[in-house]
Amino acid sequence: MVKIDLKNLKVEARKEIKKTDNLKDLDEIFKKYLGKKGEITRIFNSLKKLSPKERKKLGEGANLVKREVEEMTKERAKELQEELRKQKIEKEKIDVTRPGKKLEIGHLHPLTLVQREVEEIFQSMGFSVIIGPEIETEWYNFDALNIPKDHPARDMWDTFWLRNNQKIPNPKSQIPNKSQILNFKSQKLLLRTHTSPLQVRYMEKHQPPLRIIVPGRCFRHEATDASHEIQFYQLEGLVVDKDISGANFKAIIEEFLKRFFKTDIEIRLRPSFFPFTEPSFEIDIRRKKGKWVETMGAGMVHPKVFEAAGLNPKNWQGFAFGAGLDRLAMLKYKINDIRLFYSSDLRFLKQF
Ligand code: FA5
User: What gap in Å lies between CA 22 and CA 55, rounded to an integer?
Assistant: 36
Q: Are 186 and 161 in contact (CB under 8 A)?
A: no
Instruction: Give Cα separations from 322 to 24, 125, 160 (angstroms).
Output: 81, 17, 19
Ligand 1, CB within 6 Å, residue ranges: 194, 196, 220, 222, 228-229, 232, 234, 274, 277, 280, 294-299, 320-322, 324, 326-327, 338
Distance between first and last Cα of the chain: 94
DSSP 38-70: -HHHHHHHHGGGS-HHHHHHHHHHHHHHHHHHH
Residue 244: which of 310, 194, 195, 306 has the closest Cα? Answer: 306
**Dist. CA 174–CA 197, nearest whole Å:** 30
Single out the residue of 108, 112, 111, 125 nearest to residue 257, CA to CA. 125
Q: What is the arithmetic mean of pLDDT over 146-156? A: 83
- Residue 328 pLDDT > 70, yes or no? yes
Atom of ligand 1 at shortest distance to CA of 224?
30
pLDDT in tens, 8-50: 999 999 999 999 999 999 999 999 999 999 999 999 999 989 8
Please say if the pLDDT value at position 186 is more than 70.
no
What pTM, to 2 d.p., does this model score? Answer: 0.72
Instruction: Please report the atom of ligand 1 found closest to the CA of residue 324.
Output: 23
The arithmetic mean of pLDDT across residues 201-217, rounded, is 97
